[in-house]
Amino acid sequence: MQVFTASGVSDRCGKALPSGTKRTRDWFMTTASTDKPASSPLAIHSAADLTIEDIRAAADRIHGAVVRTPTLHSKTLSDITEADVWLKFENLQFTAAYKERGALNALLLMDEERRSRGVIAASAGNHSQGLSYHGTRLGVPVTIVMPRTTPTVKVMQTESVGGNVVLHGETFDDAYKHARQLEQEMGLTFVHPFDHPHVAAGAGTVALEMFEDAPDLDCIITPIGGGGLISGMSTVARALYPDMDVIGVQAELFPSMYMSMRGEDLPCGGDTLAEGIAVKAPGDFTSSVIRDRVDDILLVSENALEEAVSLLLQIEKTVVEGAGSAGLAALLTNKERFAGKTIGLVLCGGNIDTRLLANVLLRDLARSGRLARLRITLQDRPGALFKVMREFEAHNVNIIEIYHQRIFTSLPAKGLVTDIECEARDRAQLDALITALRTKNYTVAAVESN
């Protein structure tokens, strides 16, 4: 899995900010002024470089070239969460993610000379596809550097929308360094996936459209990777609805912005379902916007992300990737906090591997008791299995597969273990079957998936 770091290389998540500076929004334990002059050698931008006017201008600029996605009310998710839930379907963009907006805005703000020389990025994710698609459409050569370890399917997806993929190094950091080197050598323009006002302004157009369709939101819950999306959206929220709660969400495995804002040190890394927000070091510019305009950041578990992906497919019939489900995951995890409120969630991406999606759905069925593997100890004699199967029939539980194990068990030679994979209507039906089997003196255990 690739991990983007704003500075290129980082083994740890974003470090705590220096303390002793002014406090802005209440929830931050530590705040720091990152308001550096635009003329600093690193040309680091600050929150002041992103205004609602920038975002309105971005909306005009990209109008017609990105999909004007709908924001729709979800009756069933509202019932489940006891909040009033509105969903913005950014997974309906051509490359299935909101990233196109920022990439396109950055491309359109570049002068002709830069555009003709070409742009470069280091990413194996949604940014590379958005930049490749719009760059190619506009006649701008796009180079994307990815580590050699990148799955072929991601290389092909980027090439299919026009990107010229350069494979370099073993890790994402190697690829990043190489991209910065090519930027210098070939006179290309590096387009950052999140830490630039032009990119964040493009992302902010998501909020302009969302508030147009759902003008009565109390709160938005927005995924944070490096922080570009929430920087743009929070800027719109603060300008149009000063009292709106703006909440960010990160995966528990990658709490980089959360730590940076709170001055905490937590483990950071792992195989998250939400690789779109698996960022180890948050941006400097985005940190300054978040410090100024975001109220809180929540963390969500892998189980919550899986559940949210499954619910969105089952209920809304829409495919989201892990990062795209993070807002709903946060809502499901914090029901009491958001009960009774009108909440806006962005389904910010839909690029999920189909085999991974299949696994997520099956694991969700297992967690909810609709799919199970029961391990039953039997005596090795004719009719033993048949009697057990009659119990399944009596409880109307469907058998999918039977694994009868005589050799590889720790039981005596006359014993055997049978694993029966089955599907039930719900957990109650499954529990009734297990109770009935135990009443008949069978040893039964449900094999846990996680």
Ligand X SMILES: Cc1ncc(COP(=O)(O)O)c(C=O)c1O
Which residues of this chain interact with ligand X, rule CB under 6 A?
Answer: 97, 99, 125-127, 193-194, 203, 223-229, 276-277, 279, 321, 323-324, 348-349
- In whole angstroms, the minimum distance from the beta carbon of 186 to ligand X comes to 25
Least Cβ distance, residue 149 to ligand X (angstroms): 19
**Class of residue 218 by CB neighbours under 10 A (exposed 0-12, middle 13-18, buried 19+):** middle
273 vs 434, beta carbon nearer ligand X:
273
- Name which of 84 and 321 has its Cβ closer to ligand X: 321
Q: Which is nearer to ligand X, 183 or 321 (CB)?
A: 321
In the complex with ligand X, which residue's Cβ is closer, 118 or 322? 322
**Shortest distance in whole angstroms from residue 273 CB to ligand X:** 12
Three-class SS of residue 84?
Answer: strand
Provide the minimum distance between the beta carbon of 225 and ligand X in the complex, in angstroms, as a whole number: 3
Minimum separation from the CB atom of position 127 to ligand X (A): 5
Tell me the residue number closest to ligand X, measured at CB.
349
The CB-of-24 to ligand X minimum distance in angstroms stands at 19
Distances in whole angstroms, Cα of residue 245 to Cα of each of 16, 126, 348: 24, 27, 19
Output the smallest distance, CB 325 to ligand X, in A: 9
* Tokens matching residue 269: 């890394």
Q: Considering beta carbons, is residue 298 or 371 the nearer one to ligand X?
A: 298
Q: For residues 55 and 437, which CB has a smaller minimum distance to ligand X in the complex?
A: 55
Backbone angles phi, psi at 227, to 5 degrees: 110, 10
H/E run at residue 4: strand 4-5
What whole-number distance in Å separates Cα of residue 43 and Cα of residue 7? Answer: 13
Work out the angle at residue 328's Cα, subtended by the Cα atoms of residues 338 and 56, and round it to the nearest 5 degrees.
90
Q: One-letter amino acid identity for 407?
A: I
Q: Which residue lies nearer to ligand X by CB, 44 or 411?
A: 44
Minimum gap (Å) between residue 70 Cβ and ligand X: 18
Nearer to ligand X, 14 or 324 (CB): 324
What residues have CB less than 8 Å from 41, skipping those under 6 apart?
Answer: none
* Closest-CA residue to 348 (of 150, 210, 143): 210
Tokens at residue 393, please? 């029939």
> Dmax over Cα atoms in the chain, in whole Å?
85
Q: Which residues contact 314 (CB under 8 A, 6 or more apart)?
A: none
Whole-number minimum distance, CB 23 to ligand X, in Å?
A: 24
How many residues does this entry show for the chain? 450
Q: What are phi and psi of 88, to 5 degrees?
A: -100, 120
Rounded Cα distance between 107 and 202, Å, is 10
Q: Which residues contact 313 (CB under 8 A, 6 or more apart)?
A: 319, 320, 357, 361
Tell me whether residue 61 or residue 280 sits nearer to ligand X (CB atom).
280
Nearer to ligand X, 331 or 444 (CB): 331
Identify which of residues 127 and 291 has a Cβ nearer to ligand X in the complex.
127
Which one, 324 or 397, has the nearer CB to ligand X? 324
What is the amino acid identity at position 141?
P
User: Which amino acid would we find at residue 152?
Assistant: T
Contact 204, 220 (CB under 8 A): no
Closest contact distance (angstroms) between CB of 353 and ligand X is: 14
All residues at 6 or more sequence positions from 72 whose CB lies less than 8 Å from its CB, including other chains: 86, 87, 89, 213
Nearest distance from C-beta of residue 22 to ligand X, angstroms: 24
Coil/strand/helix, residue 236: helix
Cα-Cα-Cα-Cα torsion 69, 74, 77, 80, nearest 10 degrees, comes to 160
- Integer Cα distance of 372 and 412 in angstroms: 26
In whole angstroms, the minimum distance from the beta carbon of 198 to ligand X comes to: 13
